[in-house]
Structures are given as C-alpha cells and as structure tokens.
C-alpha cells in the first residue's frame, strides 16, 4: 500500500492497531503486539498516544515484545531501545509495566543463550504475536536480523552489519561508538506473527524495498522471507515505493 506521506500512512497503521486492541478487549483477551524502534514507527506511536489521551484507548490488555536491543546496553542510556520505547510510547499510556518486554542489554554474556530462549518462550506463552510492526534497515534487516540470518532463527545475539553501524553512527557520535552487537528476535519469531506490517519511508529505503518485494527470497536480504507470510502488508510512502 502506497501513501502520499508517512504521516497519512502512520495514521492508518495506528488505527489498525487500535482496532485490534479494542476487538481483543471485547473478547476479554490479551492483545500481543511486537514493536519496533527507529525513526519509522515514531508517528504511529504518537497517534496511539493521542488516541489514548483523547479517545480513551486503553492498553491494559496489551502485552508488548520489542524486536531488539543493542548489546551491551543499559536501560538508562538515551540511545537504548528501552529508553526510546518509554520516551515515545510507554510513559504516555496505561500499559501495565509487567506486560512490557524489551530484550535486556545488560544480561551477562554467559546467561545470554538462556535469556534468549526464555524471551522466545515468553512470546509463545503469551499466545504468540497478534501483530508485528516492522521497519527495515538498508541491509534488508528486520529487527536486527542481518544478511545471513536463517529463516528458522529465533531470538539470539547477532553481530551488526557495517551498513547498519554506518546508519546508526550519527546517533552514537561516530561509528566507533556504535555497539557491535545486538539481541534480536529471529526471523522465525517474526514470521509466526498472525499479522505483519512493515513500514518504509523515504528515498533511502527505495532500493532495499525493491530488493525485498521484487527480489528472490534469500537470507542475503532477510526481509524477503516476508514474501512467504500470508498476512503481511508493506506500507510505503511514494519515495520508498519509487523504484518498484
């Protein structure tokens, strides 16, 4: 779906999420959301906050799982995804703190494997993701599933691609300060979601969007695995769609 602007597109995505939350409330069920960071989802979160404040949209039945976090990374660090999510969404809505799940960038290295297995189990035990919001990196990563990620991959530690570090370097005041690794949900964790919406805005995403939608399915561009997901929509602005 191609929209004139990212603002217009973000409203439509926020409305879909709000409707899902309300539907689940009516059924007395939890609504399990997979959430993304980066600049792309900011307007979606802004709109959800507005709906909470002005329309009484409640998040009391919502459980969230974030895709990824840099490693190592403290929660207080303003570059952390933990900080980002609280700043843009969680601090402004009525979600229960115990329902927020974000990979923990402070877990000791020796405990990481078990931590990642537990994160994956928590998603499944919550009933699985009803909706997964995704951005896309210029490497074709979703979450931080960089080129080479296997379709069967689960939550794990991953080494960041050079291009990803270049793109993050302005946030970290230079590429040398960008963490070399991250914890990320896997391709299979994402693919099990009942519904997936991938957002991409701007000309600098046009090339990777073309390769993702029109290229062969390959772990070289992990987002291409979404071609095989039966309920995925790519929501694009005109610039991101300009090479299709």
CB of 54 to ligand GLP, least distance (A): 26
Tokens 């939550």 belong to residue: 155
How far from 57 is each of 41, 62, 127, 202, CA to CA, in Å?
A: 18, 11, 22, 30
Residues 142-161 that bind ligand GLP (CB under 6 A): 143-144
The C-alpha atoms of residue 155 and residue 190 are separated, in whole angstroms, by 10
- 146 catalytic, yes or no? yes
Residues 40-79 that bind ligand GLP (CB under 6 A): 40, 67-68
The C-alpha atoms of residue 224 and residue 118 are separated, in whole angstroms, by 27
**CB of 15 or CB of 169, closer to ligand GLP:** 169
Q: Determine if 135 is a binding residue for ligand GLP (CB under 6 A).
A: yes
Among 103, 137, 140, 154, binds ligand GLP (CB under 6 A): 137
The C-alpha atoms of residue 39 and residue 199 are separated, in whole angstroms, by 10
CB of 36 to ligand GLP, least distance (A): 5
Phi, psi of 198 (to 5 degrees): -105, 125
Q: Determine if 5 is a binding residue for ligand GLP (CB under 6 A).
A: no
CB of 101 to ligand GLP, least distance (A): 15
End-to-end CA distance of the chain: 12
Mapped onto helix, strand or coil, the DSSP state of residue 21 is: helix
The pattern of x and - marking residues 160 through 179 that bind ligand GLP according to CB under 6 A reads ----x---------------
The C-alpha atoms of residue 226 and residue 122 are separated, in whole angstroms, by 23
Residues 70-129 that bind ligand GLP (CB under 6 A): none
Q: Determine if 225 is a binding residue for ligand GLP (CB under 6 A).
A: no
Q: Which helix (H) or strand (E) holds 63?
A: strand 62-66
Catalytic residue set: 146
The residues that touch ligand GLP, with contacts defined as CB under 6 A, are: 36-40, 67-68, 135-137, 143-144, 164
């Amino acid at each position: 779906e191609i929209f004139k602007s990212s603002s217009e597109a973000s409203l439509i995505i926020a409305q879909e999420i709000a409707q899902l939350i309300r539907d689940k409330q009516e059924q007395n069920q939890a609504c399990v959301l997979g959430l993304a960071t980066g600049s792309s989802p900011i307007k979606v979160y802004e709109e959800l906050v507005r709906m909470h404040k002005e329309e009484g949209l409640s998040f009391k039945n919502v459980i969230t799982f974030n895709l990824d976090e840099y490693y190592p990374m403290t929660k207080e660090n303003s570059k952390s995804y933990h900080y980002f999510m609280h700043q843009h969404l969680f601090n402004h809505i009525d979600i229960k703190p115990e329902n927020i799940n974000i990979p923990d960038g402070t877990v000791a290295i020796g405990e990481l494997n078990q931590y990642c297995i537990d994160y994956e189990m928590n998603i499944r035990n919550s009933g699985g993701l009803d909706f997964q919001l995704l951005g896309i990196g210029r490497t074709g990563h979703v979450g931080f599933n960089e080129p080479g990620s296997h379709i069967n991959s689960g939550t794990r530690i991953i080494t960041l691609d050079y291009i990803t570090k270049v793109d993050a370097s302005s946030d970290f005041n230079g590429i040398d300060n960008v963490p070399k690794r991250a914890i990320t949900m896997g391709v299979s964790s994402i693919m099990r979601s009942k519904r997936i919406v991938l957002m991409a805005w701007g000309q600098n995403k046009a090339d990777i969007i073309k390769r993702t939608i029109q290229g062969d399915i390959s772990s070289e561009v992990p987002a291409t695995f979404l071609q095989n997901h039966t309920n995925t929509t790519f929501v694009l602005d005109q610039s991101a769609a300009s090479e299709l």
